Amino acid sequence: MNIIRVHGGHALEGAVEVSGAKNSALKLMAATLLAPGATTLTNVPNISDVHVMGKVLKGLGVRIDVLDEHTLRIDTSTADSWEAPYELVAKMRASTAVMGPLLGRFGRAKIAMPGGCNLGARKIDMHILGLEALGVNFDTDHGYIHAAAPDGLTGSMVSLEFASVGATENLIMAAVRARGTTIIDNAAREPEIVDLANMLNEMGAKITGAGTPVVTIEGVEELHPVEHRVIGDRIEAGTFVVAAALAAGDAGVEVLGFSPVHLGMVFKKLELMGLRYERLESGVRAWRIDRPAPTDIQTLPFPGFPTDMQAQVMALAALADGVSVITENIFENRFMFASELVRMGANIRIESHHAIVHGVERLSGAEVVSPDLRGGAALVLAGLVADGFTDVSATHHIRRGYERFVDKLTGLGAKVESLSLPDPEDD
């Protein structure tokens, strides 16, 4: 059984460099299918989700060369399949991002229903409805989605019911090879979508409006390979900023390699809680909050407060001098983390999609289970300031999205280690 053991009470200081954005790198890897030839991606995070996406692409006939720890050369000229392997896609929902590129490249796709963290239903209805507007026919059976555009893709007006990141990305990637012009209304505005559009435009696509609610894509005949650098991971950066708020020493902690603009609402809420920080050329320096002030948070699509930062800020709110209310509007199962934090002494009550967090003066180390990617990271953060030892198990969730998480915390002065212990169920 792999665990992360955290010995609380050690101040953090120094600098940490965040990796490339997980949620950008995965979609950029999928997008390489649209440009036959060798595209090079730099600043790619070395995490398990990237490894899974690499295997998905290899299953489609793509060749991937690892030039260094963070650089991939992806040669899609050999791609000869439009069926994404079930055993891989079922592990990670982001692998549905190959649907749009496969439709753009081959006019058809066969994709397993998505997996990933158990955060709720996360239906892909909007992907399907949007692609149907471009001329795609769908059939589902035995856990697979069969998609085909027998008459080719045709540009259209698509209005999304909700600003879905995945649906926006799939539609953009399909529409770049469609005949005519596609307009996506109520498009998601996340920085990772802007990164995707930037790379596609470098490849020869004609996309305008990325990062706004209306994205226009003028279809082109072909795309060509490029070299592109993945943007810094704003969620990893936010995680380390919360770590600084919890445990930084007098000199603060520098979090580098990302754009603070991508975390505007997070910084706004953290400032209300008492965070002091200063902008640097490529990040921020943040200081510890002596006793956080309570605040209310609602998760919303960008530029609102990101659902991927909800658990980390709940760990901070658990120590606040007052009551915070956190409302989760994106994923219905995202409060599983709260029950584990309660094991550490937090006072949290869940009412539907609201978490009422009564701040306590201190947390105690305990044995806890990582319920998902961000919840697992948040439990490690809580352990930094808890009395005694905190053992976080199910660490595979954390490895899905954080590169060298333990090493980076150790480099800041935390006393954290990865251990392999005998599984109690084997006794």
- Domains present along the chain, CATH in parentheses: 2-19+232-426 (3.65.10.10), 22-229 (3.65.10.10)
Question: Which residue type sits at 181?
Answer: T
Q: How confident is the model at residue 94 (pLDDT cuts 50, 70, 90)?
A: low
Residue 308, annotated as binding a ligand: yes
**Contact of 134 with 156, CB cutoff 8 Å:** yes
As a whole number, mean pLDDT of residues 131-151 equals 90
Residue 116 pLDDT level (bands cut at 50, 70, 90)? very low
Task: Check whether 330 is labelled as a binding-site residue.
Answer: yes
Mark whether 81 is an active-site residue.
no
pLDDT at site 121:
42
Residue 408 annotated as binding site: no
Long-range contacts of 205-211 (CB under 8 A, 24+ apart): 205/176, 206/176, 207/172, 207/176, 210/172
Q: What is the pLDDT of residue 61?
A: 96
| 23 labeled binding residue | yes
Catalytic pick among 6, 56, 111, 117 = 117
CB 310 within 8 A of CB 326: yes
Confidence at residue 268, expressed as pLDDT on a 0 to 100 scale: 98
Nearest-angstrom CA–CA distance, 326 and 321: 15
Mean pLDDT, residues 295-312: 97
Q: Give the C-alpha distances (Å, rounded to integers) separating 289 from 273, 338, 390, 410.
A: 8, 21, 21, 20
**pLDDT tens digits, 228-267:** 999 999 999 999 999 999 999 999 999 999 999 999 999 9
What pLDDT digit, counting tens, does each position of 175-234 carry? Answer: 999 999 999 999 999 999 999 999 999 999 999 999 999 999 999 999 999 999 999 999
- pLDDT at position 100 over 60: yes
pTM of the model as a whole: 0.94
Q: Is residue 389 within 8 Å of 7, Cβ to Cβ?
A: yes
**So what's the pLDDT on residue 145?**
86
The residue among 123, 129, 116, 140 whose CA lies nearest residue 56 is 116
Alpha-helical regions (H) of 7-139? 22-31, 48-59, 86-89, 99-106, 125-133
Q: Hey, what are 63's tokens? A: 């060749």
| The predicted structure's pLDDT at residue 126 | 86
Average pLDDT over residues 110-139: 75
- Give the residues across from 325 on adjacent strands: 356
Would you say 185 and 168 are in contact if contact means Cβ atoms under 8 Å apart?
Answer: no
Strand order in the sheet with 38-42: 63-68, 71-75, 38-42, 227-229
Provide the Cα torsion 157, 161, 167, 173; round to 10°.
10
183 annotated binding-site participant: no
Token code pair at residue 47: 């995490």
| Residue range 54-63: mean pLDDT, rounded | 95
